[in-house]
Amino acid sequence: MKIRHAQESDIEQLKALSEAVDTASHWTQQQWLDIFRTESPARVAWLAEEEGGESFGHAIGFLVALNGGPDWELENIAVLPEFRSHGIGLGLLQALLGEARSQSAGRILLEVRASNQAAIGFYRANGFQLLTRRRDYYMGPTEDALILERLIFD
C-alpha cells in the first residue's frame, strides 16, 4: 500500500471511491474541485493505493481534511469494504496527524453518524473523544451527529 497526496487529476478515482462506500460523504464535482482549487479554506487530500504488479495505482481509500489553523477537520474518509481491517484507514489517519502536527494544529475534529459504530470504534481507538452531539443533524434518515476531537501533542 502507498499513501500519497491526492491531486486534481485523481478526482474521478476519489469520486468513485466515495460512491462505493455508503458511509462516505458523496460530494458534487464542484466540491471535489474546490479541494484543489480553493485556498480558503485550505484542504488536503490523501489517496491510498494498492500495489498492482510493479506499480501502484489501484485506489482503495482516501481522506480529505480542512486545515483551519489550530483546528483541523477530518471531512471525508473512505476505504473500500474489501480492504477494511488492513490498516488503510489507520495509514490515512496517520498521514493527517503527521501533517497537522507539522503545521502546529491543536486538534482535529470530525462528525460521524451516531449509528456508525464501526467508525466510532476506529476513531476512539485512535485517540478521538466525544466533544458534543448535534441532535437530528443528518437527514435520510434523521440522525444525530457525534462531534469527536483528537488533541495534537508533540
Q: Which residues are catalytic?
A: 111, 123
DSSP state of 121: H
- Cβ atoms of residues 43 and 86 within 8 Å: no
Cα–Cα dist 8/75, whole Å: 17
φ, ψ (nearest 5 deg) of residue 84? -70, 155
Q: How many CB atoms lie within 10 A of CB 127?
A: 15
Burial class (CB within 10 angstroms; exposed 0-12, middle 13-18, buried 19+) of 70: exposed
